[in-house]
């Protein structure tokens, strides 16, 4: 992001506590929306422990409770939050050191897998993305294949091809190193 935007976002977030900013930086890695139970899992805290920080961010209009729930969601995983402005989410995640980002994406993938439980297959593309960004090749392969199959079932052919390309690349890398 350009420095001018980063500075504007930093100014906007000035009133938040350090703890709240740290939480929001990790939340930003989830994407525009994030479930509170998975965030708590990544932070190795309980939802009750992080709730005051989430409330602080809501009061500052940085995040809001996501009112959108997909009609086909049988059981919501937990309260989902959404960043009020995408640029704030991008600036927060960009503020994390690169060496932390990789391990956090891996932790996010694991947290989402646990929180989604039996419904994880419905979020295969999201899981594949986090595992890929976390460098977890085996998990990326698994979830990319499931995401590709799901996209093909929905006739989202370009998306299916992209997922299958990721899977093929991983298999080729494994075969060439063996």
Predicted pLDDT of residue 72: 47
Residue pair 141/171 in contact by the 8 Å Cβ criterion: yes
How many other C-beta atoms can be found within 10 angstroms of the C-beta atom of residue 98?
A: 6
User: What pLDDT was estimated at residue 39?
Assistant: 97
Upper half-sphere CA count for residue 156 (Cβ side, 13 Å): 12
pLDDT score of 117 = 87
pTM: 0.88
Ordered mean pLDDT values, 10 residues apiece, the chain (178 residues):
83 94 97 95 96 97 82 60 94 91 97 91 95 96 96 95 95 86
- 124-to-39, 47, 103 alpha-carbon distances in Å: 18, 24, 19
Neighbours of 164 (CB within 10 A): 17
| Per-residue confidence (pLDDT) for residue 73, from 0 to 100 | 53
């Amino acid at each position: 992001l350009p420095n001018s935007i980063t500075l504007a976002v930093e100014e906007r977030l000035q009133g938040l506590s350090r703890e709240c900013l740290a939480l929001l930086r990790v939340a930003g890695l989830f994407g525009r929306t994030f479930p509170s139970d998975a965030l708590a899992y990544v932070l190795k805290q309980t939802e009750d422990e992080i709730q005051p920080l989430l409330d602080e961010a809501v009061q500052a209009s940085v995040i809001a409770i996501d009112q959108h729930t997909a009609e086909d969601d049988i059981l919501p995983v937990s309260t989902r939050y959404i960043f009020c402005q995408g640029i704030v989410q991008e600036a927060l995640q960009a503020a994390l050191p690169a060496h932390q980002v990789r391990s956090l994406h891996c932790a996010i993938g694991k947290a989402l897998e646990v929180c989604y439980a039996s419904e994880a297959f419905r979020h295969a593309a999201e899981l594949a993305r986090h595992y890929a960004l976390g460098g977890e090749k085996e998990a990326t392969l698994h979830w990319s294949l499931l995401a590709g199959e799901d996209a093909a079932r929905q006739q989202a052919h370009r998306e299916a091809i992209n997922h299958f390309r990721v899977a093929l690349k991983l298999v080729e890398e494994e075969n060439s190193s063996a």
